[in-house]
Amino acid sequence: MTAASAPPAVDLQRVHKRYGPVHAVRDVSLCIREGEFFSLLGPSGCGKTTVLRMISGFETPTEGHVYLQGRLADTIPPYRRDTNLIFQHLALFPHLDVYDNIAFGLRLRRLPRDEIGRKVRGALELVDLAGYESRRIHQLSGGQKQRIAIARALVNEPGVLLLDEPLGALDLRLRMQMQVELKQIQHRVGTTFVYVTHDQTEALTMSDRIAVMNHGTVEQIGTGREVYERPRTRFVATFLGDSNLFEARVEARGPGETLLRAAGQRLVAPPAAAGAGDAVVLCVRPERVRLLAPTGPAPAGYENRIDARVQDVIFKGAFIEYRLAAAWGAPLIAQVHADGAAAIERGAAVIVAWRRDDGVVLTE
Amino acid sequence: MNAAAAPGRTGWARGRALVVPGLLGPAVVFIAGLLLTALGILLVNSAYHFTGTRIEPRATFEAYRRFFTDPFYAGVVWEEIRLAVTTTAICLAIGYPTAYAIAKIRRPNWVIAAYILVFSPLLTSSIVRAYGWLVILSRGGLVNWLLTVTHLVAGPVRLVFNFTGVAIALVHVLLPFTVFPILSILLRMDPALREASADLGATRAQTFLRVTWPLSFPGLYAAAQLTFVLAMNAYVTPQLLGGGRVQVLPLLIYENISDLNWPLAAVEAIVLITLVWTAMFASNVLFRRRLAAAGERE
């Protein structure tokens, strides 16, 4: 994309935000690259919106610094920042028509009239709403309002576009369509997008990188694949998708593997930063486990084997989800690709098996 | 589908159709009935003959002729309009910033304090309030004392029993009615709209001019109408603080009724009602487009 020497679009350095006794954001450091689609993912109240508002200038960090394109931005007010924000409820101006909404920022910059007209038309074309100039806001559908909000922000050609859960109010189908469209728009304009959401699917669908937040801190930053397949904490493992978690203790560390013991069972896991005797959690994604018949042959590599019983069979379309109980009672979950084969019956005894590298050791 | 739609408005649906007229009925009958009856009586009375001591039910336009030819009445109408317009203008000038400030207060206790302060005039009887102003505004009163000791004026200024005194006291009574509609619309405004404006590059002043002001216009408009109507119809305040030197229609009406000159009182009442209604109607037409634009909500 851009040269490695270019300063990051957004750089947060050890940022804290306190509201009286509430420590809303704790020691957050983020480096968002030029042209990146970056998501802040976390449950409500995790501080992700506060981080976004510090980037946009509506909040000032209590401690730490915010840099925009390499410039210290802590004290720059929102109206002088090279960022634009798409609000959760869009905040389109109800007293102005579509044209005046989009032209709002351009007029404040005192651009010549014909240039404003050209840019507004360009922005409307970008969001596929050419010809809507004189519509009033209340005449638009939810999806159209969404696009006008995007146009109103992007027409100013901001260095960074900030989005605060803008798709939350849309129904599922429209939301999925807008996710793809947002991603396409971002490809076309090449602007840095910082997207706040509590929806993991949304974050995985659109983002180049995701920062998973919880209780005001960033738990992990990485590509969607990294945070999903290599979660670093128990929170990340459970917030993004389903997981089988085993409370375990490290027995020994071998070459290229870690030997664990969980509920009396020996388990083999990939190498981890934990010494013998340490308490850890082993995380195995439900689509990585295989269900084997208790009597059949063991496929090569499936070293981890746990006796379990099927408690529930849920057909989910593309896959079948099995709710199981391990021999010692712990709930397990397995997702099996629906390839037309007959499903295992409820109550059947099975072996839950996975390869060494399907597991991830969480040291918390 | 047809089977479900065919029975139409039975039971529950029919009950619903009766709810609105049922609930509105008493109010409509009470207000419209009384108003129309009263207006009818007024019209009939205005055309009666007054001998100087009693009324004769004989059709004549004497009262109308007297009202519209004697320059005294034109002077009263002019004074009345001047008073209502001045009061409304001052109320808006003080009320808008007040409402704006209250809408910005964050601490609940301070909000309550501000409400009590603004609405306190309504918690006192109008007579007590008027006498209070008489004391404060009189020659030896607090205001004159302050003006004199600060050398803002050489001697005491006349602040009561004239237009100024009535206007001051009216502003005091009517201010809550000005503040409330503006405040309620400002509180209803989504704070994100102002943030969106700032985010798009507007300074505080630009945000006010381009977003807050146009969106609060309906509140300002309602406040102006309410204040104007109440000022036009004020009786106690002009009576006590005008000391007979400020003549407005409500005072004349009362006077004429006491003198048994009901025809003239009726004409004055009709003129007052017409003035108020014309002002309302004209302003509605004048500001229709602005109101429609600002009234649209997402």
pLDDT digits (tens, 9 = 90+) for B215-224: 999 999 999 9
Where is A108: in which H helix or E strand?
helix A98-108
Estimate the crossing angle of helix B262-286 against helix B71-104, to 10 degrees.
Answer: 50
DSSP helix/strand/coil, A316: coil
Express each pLDDT in B241-275 by its tens digit.
Answer: 998 899 999 999 999 999 999 999 999 999 999 99
What pLDDT is recorded for position B15?
75
What pLDDT is recorded for position B8?
54
DSSP letters along A151-184, please?
A: HHHHTT--SEEEEESTTTTS-HHHHHHHHHHHHH
Looking at beta carbons, which residues of chain A come within 8 Å of B294?
A: 95
Q: Do B200 and A152 touch (CB under 8 A)?
A: yes
Where is A103: in which H helix or E strand?
helix A98-108
| For testing contact with chain B, the best of A104, A116, A161 (most B CBs within 10 A) | A104
**Percent of chain A with pLDDT strictly greater than 70:** 99
pLDDT-based confidence at residue B155 (cuts at 50, 70, 90): confident
Q: Do B296 and A137 touch (CB under 8 A)?
A: yes
What pLDDT is recorded for position B153?
86
**For residue A311, pLDDT beyond 50:** yes
pLDDT-based confidence at residue A61 (cuts at 50, 70, 90): very high
In this structure, are residues A364 and A234 in contact, taking their beta carbons and an 8 Å threshold? yes
What pLDDT is recorded for position B3?
44
Query: Rounded CA gap, B130 and B118, in Å?
Result: 17
Interchain CB contacts (distance < 8 Å): A and B: 70
Q: Do B298 and A92 touch (CB under 8 A)?
A: yes
**For residue A1, pLDDT beyond 60:** no
CB-CB neighbours of B273 under 10 Å: 16
Query: Looking at the partner chain, which of A58, A94, A105 has a beta carbon nearest the beta carbon of B200?
Result: A105
**For residue A234, pLDDT beyond 90:** yes
C-alpha distances out from residue A92 to A194, A195, A356, B56, B193, Å: 20, 19, 53, 66, 7
**For residue A359, pLDDT beyond 70:** yes
Chain A residues 117-156 within an 8 A CB cutoff of chain B: 136-138, 145, 152-153, 156
Q: Do B298 and A87 touch (CB under 8 A)?
A: no
ipTM: 0.86
Q: Which residue of B has its CA nearest to A86?
A: B196
Q: Which residue of A has its CA nearest to B191?
A: A91
Query: Rounded CA gap, A65 and B201, in Å?
Result: 22
What pLDDT is recorded for position A5?
63
Residue type, A299: P
Express each pLDDT in A246-269 by its tens digit.
Answer: 999 999 998 889 999 998 899 999
Query: Looking at the partner chain, which of B198, B210, B298 has a beta carbon nearest the beta carbon of A94?
Result: B298
* 3-state DSSP of chain B: CHHHHCCCCCCHHHHHHHHHHHHHHHHHHHHHHHHHHHHHHHHHHHCCEECCCCEECCCCCHHHHHHHHCHHHHHHHHHHHHHHHHHHHHHHHHHHHHHHHHHHCCCHHHHHHHHHHHHHHHHCCHHHHHHHHHHHHCCCCHHHHHHHHCCCCCCCCCCCCCHHHHHHHHHHHHHHHHHHHHHHHHHHCCHHHHHHHHHCCCCHHHHHHHHHHHHHHHHHHHHHHHHHHHHHCCCHHHHHHHCCCCCCHHHHHHHHHHCCCHHHHHHHHHHHHHHHHHHHHHHHHHCHHHHHHHHCCC
Higher pLDDT, B152 or B96: B96
**For residue A130, pLDDT beyond 60:** yes
Looking at beta carbons, which residues of chain A come within 8 Å of B287?
A: none
Looking at beta carbons, which residues of chain A come within 8 Å of B206?
A: 108
What pLDDT is recorded for position A2?
46
**For residue A327, pLDDT beyond 80:** yes
Q: Which residue of A has its CA nearest to B196?
A: A91
> Averaged over A7-24, what is the pLDDT?
94
CATH T-level assignment (fold) for domain B72-295: MetI-like fold (1.10.3720)
The pLDDT mean for chain A works out to 93
What pLDDT is recorded for position A307?
93
Residue ranges per domain, chain B?
A: 72-295
Q: Do A79 and B201 touch (CB under 8 A)?
A: yes
> Averaged over B102-120, what is the pLDDT?
91
What pLDDT is recorded for position A4?
53
> Averaged over B147-160, what is the pLDDT?
88
Chain B within 8 Å of A94 (Cβ-Cβ)? yes
| List of domains in chain A | 10-237 (3.40.50.300), 242-362 (2.40.50.100)
Q: Do A108 and B200 touch (CB under 8 A)?
A: yes
Q: Which residue of B has its CA nearest to A57?
A: B199
